[in-house]
Structure 1
Amino acid sequence: MVKIKTSEEIELMRESALVVSKTLGMLASEIKPGVNALYLDKLAEDYIREQGAEPGFLGMYDFPNTLNMSPNAQVVHGIPNKEPLKEGDILSVDCGALKNGYYGDHAYTFPIGEIDPETEKLLRVTKESLYIGIREFKIGNRVGDVGYAIQNYCEGHGYGVVRELVGHGLGKKLHEAPEMPNYGKRGRGKKFLEGMVVAIEPMINGGTRRIKQLKDGWTILTADGKPSAHFEHNVAIVNGKPELLSTFQYIYEALGVDSDEENEFRQSKLVL
């Protein structure tokens, strides 16, 4: 059952989402060749706690860390380790935080130094598909409209859209109804209502859509070993339209990137 949020609850969720946004922004300055994921994971745990929040993933379903960190051909749910990042890698960082009883949960895929043009295109198209999907999250539409928009765009570029892993509702639980697949048919699925809050998160593979799982019970990889990208935002329906609760602007500020990609999804100015 979908749990509709009041305007007060949405503002509390914005606080939770911004803890994650700020954490990803802090990490953006630290993610570079030679650094290992365990080091980044400890930085994130400490930072989240300093913000008066708790790591949302640590211990959930027995997950052992604060961050899901998935390099290269890993799609999601990678467990941080001591292997140093290398020039040309990519790293998906998925982070969650619990504050005021509500979860924030979003992700960004970082290039490590200079990456090859094909992988750079995969990251660009996946992030573009995120906003294409968000645009469809509005009154009058349904779950299938978001999934169709993402699938159509990414498959149009020859990429594989993962089926087994999907976005989700968000609130007092990390995973609430409805499920938000990155594929679908227009006009199908749960109807969107004022006050719904979801995590939209394209997981897009550079080759086949098929995946496999490591024996650790967590790490998901592409079946063909090609890279995968993952971008995620938390979005509410406010005044019938999609309103971003999360932001990548802290990442862009750390990296010196100028972007207006989020402007159309903000009904009030974000103060960094």
Structure 2
Amino acid sequence: MKKTFCIVASMLLVCTSCVTKKKYILAENGRLEAIGRAEELKEQLGKCGDDNNQLSVRLDALLRDTANMGRNIRNYQTMLNTNMSEQDKLNSLLNQKMNELDERERTINELQDLINAQNEKVQNLLNSVKDALLGFSSDELSVTEKNGKVYLSMSDKLLFESGSARVDKRGKEALAKLAEVLNKQTDIDVYIEGHTDTKPINTVQFKDNWDLSVIRATSVVRILTKDYGVNPLQIQPCGRGEFMPIADNETAEGRSKNRRTEIIMAPKLDKLLDILK
């Protein structure tokens, strides 16, 4: 019995020893494997640290580049805004000048239309005066157009006796025909100018050639307005004396031409003046 117990105890001891050694070997292998993994992880961790440092460096560089780029973008935006403001100013100025040009062109066109209408009136007036006075010779009167005005020059032998301011019958006939034209032309201004030669005059009625030229002009105005109904507001008399000759006063022929009464007719310029203001 005792011998049997010893044998069983020995067997158990052997079995226990075998199991413990096997566990030991497994545990040792696990430990070694864990150490290897730890070293591998440590190596990977170190590598990750290096990669992280490189990424940090790159990140810092990217942050600096981004900051620089942001500053550049803001600078560009400021420049763009400045340029846009200048462009807006230029566009506004251009539009203003274009509007001024359009207005100027409209004014020019309007003026041109009025000038054309004025020229047409002058030509119609010229033809009307010529037609009305066809029965008079060139020695008695002449009708011309100059600078947009119609000039009717009537010699003193047609209108007046020598040294007189009284209009004779033949002169009244001419003024009557002229009045027919003027009464149909209510939008014209009429200037009556008296002219003399250089021979001095000094009588009870006329102190000098100024007197003679003025009174002859007013005599024509009275006949046109009182006898033939021309509007007095259309007519303005004045005397020029001897100071606007058209010929040489040294000859009898020249002095005869200088002794004249000029009736100057011009369309009213009110509309033109209004545009030019």
The TM-score range, normalised by the shorter chain, is under 0.3
Compute the TM-score of the two structures, normalised by the length of structure 1: 0.25
Q: Which has the higher strand share?
A: 1
Q: Which has the higher helix share?
A: 2
Q: Per chain length, whose mean CA-contact separation is higher, i.e. which structure has more relative contact order (CA < 8 Å, sep 6+)?
A: 1
Compute the TM-score of the two structures, normalised by the length of structure 2: 0.24
